Amino acid sequence: MKVLGIESTAHTFSVGVVDGKKILSNVIDSFTTKKGGIKPYDVAEHHTKVCHEVLEKALKEAKLSMKDIDLIAFSQGPGLGHTLRIGAFFARSLALRFKKKIVGVNHCIAHLSIGELTGAKDPVLLYASGVNTQVIAYEGGKYRIFGETLDMGVGNFLDSVGRLMDLGFPGGPKLEKLALKGKKFIEMPYVVKGMDVSFGGLYSFVKNKLGKFRKEDLAYSIQETIFAMLLEVAERAMAHTGKKELLLGGGVACNSRFQEMAQKMCAERKAKCFIPEKKLLIDNGAMIGYQGLLEYKAGKRQKISDTKIKPYWRTDEVKVNWK
């Protein structure tokens, strides 16, 4: 069964094609800036501009045309209303024009399912992306959120710091480079409450310290602090659920230092650490296609009128029919 997956929850527009467990293509086009952050309106414009080209590339790479596609899946939420709407509109238009079935899927759970495709069987997902920061695991018939950020997502935090330092968007990868040249650890607010984390205080701290320390030392200390916070809550969720696998997901998980710390934590508790390849860690259409396939095969059907976007869709509200 060949599924076309469309992703548009935030700064990335992507179309991927999967055929069962095989990924035939996964074309990703992300909005970036040299200076300043992201404005939802500008990102929506970006997605509108690139959507047809991305679709064409994805079909070409998969060596298929629209007539070969059996199902269209799209990210129905959670995410930015402005950008979700572009993906949903595009998916509906294609479904109507080419008379295809359509299903909307939950973006966060798609990160988990694609991770399971890379070998994890029953993991705790540490999902560290721009908007979302959650610790998710399957228990009692549902994907449950064991911990999450109480304010901003870890990626948004890094991007905001990047903006303070005039690094452009996205700030995360640029801070990673700066951090490599960091020498001195600066003590910073470390905010973990049970299985939740918070970055607001840390952001104010960094804002106040700008100019007083080397940017490299700040970047290094920020990384050490936030990754330790994230891994502490993930480890607590692993201990609580008794699960022996950690899966990383989200753009922040592309960070080498984060990956290294995650592997170390897992080795210490004799757990396995799964890190999908970069194109599957970041927002991508292939994971949406794969999630759509799982749900469709398990019997999910949607009419066009059921495809309204859900910007605030919670992971634990999703009906799990495919497990």
By CB under 6 A, name the binding residues for ligand AMP: 10, 12, 129-130, 155, 158-159, 170-173, 176, 250-252, 254-255, 282-283
Extended strands (E) in the chain: 2-7, 12-19, 22-30, 71-77, 101-106, 124-128, 133-139, 142-148, 192-193, 196-197, 245-249, 272-274
Q: How far apart are the first and last CA of the chain?
A: 19
Residues whose CB is less than 8 angstroms from the CB of residue 204 and which lie 6 or more positions away in sequence, other chains included: none
C-beta of 245 vs 283, nearer to Mg ion: 283
C-beta of 129 vs 315, nearer to Mg ion: 129
Output the smallest distance, CB 101 to Mg ion, in A.
Answer: 24
C-beta of 71 vs 109, nearer to ligand AMP: 109
Output the smallest distance, CB 90 to ligand AMP, in A.
Answer: 18
C-beta of 95 vs 282, nearer to ligand AMP: 282
What are the angstrom distances between the C-alpha of 205 and each of 51, 164, 201, 280? 40, 12, 6, 33
Output the smallest distance, CB 101 to ligand AMP, in A.
Answer: 27
What does the per-residue mask of binding to Mg ion show for 129-168, with x meaning CB under 5 A? x---------------------------------------
For the record, the structure tokens of 315 come out as 């992971």
Distance of CA 301 to the CA centre of its chain: 25
Helix count and strand count (H, E) for the chain: 10, 12
Distance of CA 120 to the CA centre of its chain: 17
Output the smallest distance, CB 148 to ligand AMP, in A.
Answer: 15
Output the smallest distance, CB 129 to Mg ion, in A.
Answer: 4
Identify the residue among 79, 283, 295, 309 touching Mg ion (CB under 5 A). 283
Residues that bind Mg ion (CB under 5 A): 129, 283
